[in-house]
Structure 1
């Protein structure tokens, strides 16, 4: 009996010693770390990729993560992982320490990601990243959702979409195609017969081609940009309504034609350059004025080439040197862009052009060339006639002064200047009838004649002609004659001749001597 008790005690002691040894091994740091690492590497599936990081250093990974790590596991860090996964899983932290502060993160993968989502968490100093793959049920559910979305997107698309076989039969359509077919062909039309039967061009080019559908009830056409994509089920076709674009193009074309007809009737040469300084529009008058060939203008020369050709044709003022001409052209362009360019070109041929530059929207510049030779010639002739008339008046002995309707002196001759010792041209201010009367009064004896002259000029009394004799302070007697001219102007003449030949009935104010 005592032996049995001794054996039991020995067994008990052995079991306690073994248990203590196992407990010491289990609680040792190395074993705990290995066991923890093993648990953390276990994913939800055998193919899940799991990464373990101690700070930024990789300390463990599953077999599914090997394709991300490659052969250089020792140099693989958190930054390497983030570089590979940041596009597929937006929001992956810059540093593992971020997870310690904010807690676990679940990041949804993009469409191009291998796994559905990424789980990131911080566990007792270890950062764990698991890329979870979808289960078969989840994949099927996701595919069903995607299929439902795609069907809704295609069926509810605002433009016609259809599938066409190699034989040319329509095998599937969306709602927009059906609505268009009912509108054009009615509800009894053959479904397999395509509305768009000229698909050779888009099939061959691979680009959208403009195709029209004729409406039977009128001569109108509906225009669409049709594109095709070859698939296993046939040709997938898309038609985009471009009727608004076609209408706008027609309106623009008609507008341009109207402008062209209008420009053709102008007597002013027009040249419009776009923002790239290319000639985009000109009228026939420009050809006549500049003598530039039509084929040259039609080739859309740039602005500098255009003015170079004008210089070669001697259709602009001859520059002193080519370099100075270049600077002149730069100044011209700057002034035209600001709307400040306005010059008169005198040609070697004798012609005179008025050239102006005007800015237009979007950086375009318009130049207008107007032949003002006749106008300049007429102006010069008129100026010459005025100068000749002035010379004739200056040669007369009679002193003459002409006053306008408002009382301003508009003309006087040299005899008048010498008689009254004045020179109206020497002053910037205009000489009024009051100024003239004051001057006359200073040089003559007192008389009320000057007041009557003033009233005559200003139209406050009768405009019948009259004359009077005026005694000068020098002792000389002058005859003053006042007569009306057209448009309310007045002619005042002074001469020293005897008044015997003048009508006595028109005399006023008997002369008085100083």
Structure 2
């Protein structure tokens, strides 16, 4: 035993106390960490993991073999832990200081197939995070390990914006496409402000709306179909760029408006029935021609109702047998579908309509109504005039034949048929001047007049009226009078010859002394 005096003991005691304090200060963190690690390990199951953070840096961690956590890639700071667990557990605090105010926070994944629980609690200066997987297989944990990286890369490279909203309507997460879109939108200084704020009206109802976004420096509206899917921890939102669709719809509307303006100027009534045989399009001329009220046509009646209403308005001929009306309409639709329906309706009012049915794309049918009363009246009047003129010619004693500029017989009277024993109306072929002169020559004595008549009919210039006589084989004589008429035609008048008075004969052709 050392023989020390009291002064030496007085110096040795402070040295021993200081050494003891230093040893405790040096060994205490390891002992505490070892004790804490042992306490964590004794409390966790094989499918659980726990982290202890001192501020934003990790101070200890434990991962069970079935926890799904990559032990070689443990997050060392709070930001790495947020990237690892934030997507799987919405609402994960972005700052550990938020836990000290809350005390304890329990989070669960939004997926009903994921039974995990994440508990975050404050332990003085430390924050403990405990993950309980609840039997969820590690190879199905999307936000953990390699699978999480694959999913994160796929979402970030998605061409459509994807983001999540909180229950207050603020953006809590977004992918790269959404972030790129947000940078192009002016006046969005707060990262939590959504690009599509209209969706905040109801965050608990699934729906899709078409919303515009005006980008910076362009002033052009870019249209998106935004879908909202409600979730327990805030809705997920998806936006699809439909600018091309909107542009195509706008072009289609402009085209339809152009067609509508064109149809409005038509004098022909137009009624288009879709594949369900409902009236899809009509123009104002249809109202004028059919006298059907606009509200009736705007109500999109079906085809049978439309034609039944026309029958009531006496705009179409009354069917002889009303019981077969439906069958007639079925035949009408079938004919129109093949483009074979074309009829002329003579109405009780005296008007005449031409009705045509034509097939349209996608099984539609179009009916065209045209008022042809004026054309029919003109045709009838022209036919009456022709019949009257023919009657006048038939009552003349002279035999008359008219040849067109191409030498075809266009008109003759009853006296002509009797003189030459022919009926041109019963001939299937067109009678020419050559055919006619051969017939005349057979019934007359030889004469050069027939050749002169053929030359005159074919002649275009210097055509003057002239007269000649020919002898029939029965010793009768007839006078042939040749007259140029309108449009290069030639009229030949045959009549029995009278004694000559003031006629002079020039080489077989007798020229009238009249100027």
Does the alignment reach a TM-score above 0.5? Answer: yes
Instruction: Determine the C-alpha separation between the residues in 1 that align with 2:214 and 2:499.
Output: 99
Retained in 2: the 8 A contact 1:225–1:241?
A: yes
Q: What displacement does 1:510 show?
A: 7.0
Retained in 2: the 8 A contact 1:358–1:366?
A: yes
User: Which residue number corresponds to residue 473 of structure 2?
Assistant: 473
User: Which residue number corresponds to residue 153 of structure 2?
Assistant: 152
Taking a change above 3 Å as real, the CA distance of residues 142 and 476 of structure 1, as seen in their structure-2 partners, is same
- Structure 2 SS opposite 1:184: coil
Retained in 1: the 8 A contact 2:481–2:492?
A: yes
User: Which residue number corresponds to residue 240 of structure 2?
Assistant: 240
Retained in 2: the 8 A contact 1:420–1:440?
A: yes
Retained in 2: the 8 A contact 1:202–1:209?
A: no
Retained in 1: the 8 A contact 2:204–2:230?
A: no
Matches within 5 A, 1:204-353: 205-215=205-215, 217-353=217-353
Instruction: Determine the C-alpha separation between the residues in 2 that align with 1:420 and 1:240.
Output: 89
Retained in 2: the 8 A contact 1:202–1:226?
A: no
- Structure 1 SS opposite 2:405: coil
Q: What displacement does 1:501 show?
A: 6.1
Matches within 5 A, 1:407-422: 407-422=407-422
Matches within 5 A, 1:49-448: 144-185=145-186, 189-200=189-200, 203=203, 205-215=205-215, 217-448=217-448
Retained in 1: the 8 A contact 2:164–2:236?
A: yes
User: Which residue number corresponds to residue 12 of structure 1?
Assistant: none
User: Which residue number corresponds to residue 97 of structure 1?
Assistant: none
Q: What displacement does 1:372 show?
A: 0.2
Structure 2, gaps ≥5 residues long: 1-112, 114-134
CA-atom RMSD in angstroms: 2.9
Retained in 2: the 8 A contact 1:465–1:506?
A: no
Q: What displacement does 1:227 show?
A: 1.7
- Structure 1 SS opposite 2:172: strand
Retained in 2: the 8 A contact 1:260–1:283?
A: yes
Taking a change above 3 Å as real, the CA distance of residues 369 and 499 of structure 1, as seen in their structure-2 partners, is farther
Retained in 2: the 8 A contact 1:479–1:499?
A: no
Instruction: Determine the C-alpha separation between the residues in 1 that align with 2:139 and 2:476.
Output: 130
Instruction: Determine the C-alpha separation between the residues in 2 that align with 1:335 and 1:402.
Output: 44
Q: What displacement does 1:136 show?
A: 6.7
User: Which residue number corresponds to residue 71 of structure 1?
Assistant: none
- Structure 2 SS opposite 1:475: coil
Retained in 2: the 8 A contact 1:467–1:508?
A: no
User: Which residue number corresponds to residue 492 of structure 2?
Assistant: 492
Retained in 2: the 8 A contact 1:466–1:508?
A: no
Tell me the matched-pair count: 382
Instruction: Determine the C-alpha separation between the residues in 1 that align with 2:141 and 2:471.
Output: 128
- Structure 1 SS opposite 2:213: strand
Instruction: Determine the C-alpha separation between the residues in 2 that align with 1:408 and 1:210.
Output: 73
Under a length normalisation based on structure 1, what TM-score does the superposition of the two structures give?
0.69
Instruction: Determine the C-alpha separation between the residues in 1 that align with 2:439 and 2:335.
Output: 50
Retained in 2: the 8 A contact 1:202–1:227?
A: no
Instruction: Determine the C-alpha separation between the residues in 1 that align with 2:250 and 2:139.
Output: 54
Q: What displacement does 1:143 show?
A: 5.3
Retained in 2: the 8 A contact 1:466–1:507?
A: no
Taking a change above 3 Å as real, the CA distance of residues 506 and 466 of structure 1, as seen in their structure-2 partners, is farther
Under a length normalisation based on structure 2, what TM-score does the superposition of the two structures give?
0.69
Instruction: Determine the C-alpha separation between the residues in 2 that align with 1:336 and 1:318.
Output: 20
